[in-house]
Amino acid sequence: MKAGIGVHSQYIIVGKDPTLLNDGERHFIKTVLDFFAGSDKLVPNNINGNFIPEVRMMEAESFYDRQAFIERIYALVYANVIAA
Protein backbone atom coordinates (compact mmCIF):
# COMPACT_ATOMS: atom_id res chain seq x y z
CA MET A 1 0.00 0.00 0.00
CA LYS A 2 1.36 3.41 -0.89
CA ALA A 3 1.85 5.76 2.04
CA GLY A 4 -1.04 8.14 2.40
CA ILE A 5 -3.40 6.29 0.09
CA GLY A 6 -6.12 6.20 2.75
CA VAL A 7 -6.07 9.89 3.64
CA HIS A 8 -7.87 11.10 0.53
CA SER A 9 -11.39 10.11 1.52
CA GLN A 10 -12.79 13.41 0.26
CA TYR A 11 -12.08 12.26 -3.31
CA ILE A 12 -14.48 9.33 -3.17
CA ILE A 13 -17.41 10.16 -5.43
CA VAL A 14 -20.75 9.33 -3.83
CA GLY A 15 -24.29 10.18 -4.76
CA LYS A 16 -23.54 10.46 -8.46
CA ASP A 17 -27.01 9.29 -9.47
CA PRO A 18 -29.49 9.31 -6.59
CA THR A 19 -32.26 7.91 -8.81
CA LEU A 20 -30.59 4.48 -8.93
CA LEU A 21 -31.87 3.64 -5.43
CA ASN A 22 -35.34 4.04 -3.99
CA ASP A 23 -35.93 5.67 -0.59
CA GLY A 24 -36.04 2.35 1.25
CA GLU A 25 -32.76 1.19 -0.25
CA ARG A 26 -31.06 4.51 0.56
CA HIS A 27 -32.36 4.33 4.14
CA PHE A 28 -31.09 0.76 4.54
CA ILE A 29 -27.62 1.59 3.19
CA LYS A 30 -27.33 4.70 5.34
CA THR A 31 -28.39 2.72 8.43
CA VAL A 32 -25.71 0.10 7.78
CA LEU A 33 -23.07 2.76 7.10
CA ASP A 34 -24.09 4.58 10.27
CA PHE A 35 -23.46 1.39 12.24
CA PHE A 36 -20.01 0.99 10.67
CA ALA A 37 -19.16 4.65 11.22
CA GLY A 38 -20.00 4.32 14.91
CA SER A 39 -18.10 1.05 15.23
CA ASP A 40 -15.03 2.44 13.51
CA LYS A 41 -14.97 5.26 16.03
CA LEU A 42 -14.73 2.67 18.82
CA VAL A 43 -11.91 0.62 17.30
CA PRO A 44 -9.16 3.28 17.69
CA ASN A 45 -10.19 3.76 21.31
CA ASN A 46 -9.90 0.01 21.87
CA ILE A 47 -6.50 -0.12 20.16
CA ASN A 48 -5.16 2.83 22.14
CA GLY A 49 -6.64 1.70 25.44
CA ASN A 50 -6.12 -2.06 25.32
CA PHE A 51 -3.44 -3.03 22.84
CA ILE A 52 -0.80 -0.30 22.87
CA PRO A 53 -0.35 -0.28 26.68
CA GLU A 54 0.32 -4.05 26.58
CA VAL A 55 3.05 -3.84 23.95
CA ARG A 56 6.66 -2.94 24.66
CA MET A 57 7.91 -3.08 21.06
CA MET A 58 8.15 0.14 19.09
CA GLU A 59 7.33 -1.67 15.82
CA ALA A 60 4.13 -3.11 17.25
CA GLU A 61 3.11 0.26 18.69
CA SER A 62 3.68 1.82 15.27
CA PHE A 63 1.52 -0.86 13.66
CA TYR A 64 -1.29 -0.25 16.15
CA ASP A 65 -1.01 3.53 15.67
CA ARG A 66 -1.31 3.07 11.91
CA GLN A 67 -4.29 0.73 12.31
CA ALA A 68 -6.05 3.24 14.57
CA PHE A 69 -5.41 5.94 11.96
CA ILE A 70 -6.89 3.76 9.20
CA GLU A 71 -9.98 3.06 11.31
CA ARG A 72 -10.50 6.82 11.72
CA ILE A 73 -10.30 7.22 7.94
CA TYR A 74 -12.96 4.51 7.54
CA ALA A 75 -15.24 6.35 9.96
CA LEU A 76 -14.70 9.58 8.02
CA VAL A 77 -15.50 7.90 4.70
CA TYR A 78 -18.70 6.38 6.09
CA ALA A 79 -19.73 9.78 7.47
CA ASN A 80 -19.11 11.39 4.06
CA VAL A 81 -21.18 8.74 2.29
CA ILE A 82 -24.01 9.13 4.79
CA ALA A 83 -24.00 12.91 4.31
CA ALA A 84 -24.09 12.60 0.50
Q: Let me know the angle formed at the C-alpha of 12 by 7 and 15, rounded to the nearest 5 degrees.
A: 150
The continuous run of DSSP H or E covering 75 comes out as helix 58-83
Check if the beta carbon of residue 6 is closer than 8 Å to that of residue 70.
yes
Q: Catalytic site residue 78?
A: yes
What is the chain's length? 84
Catalytic residues: 78
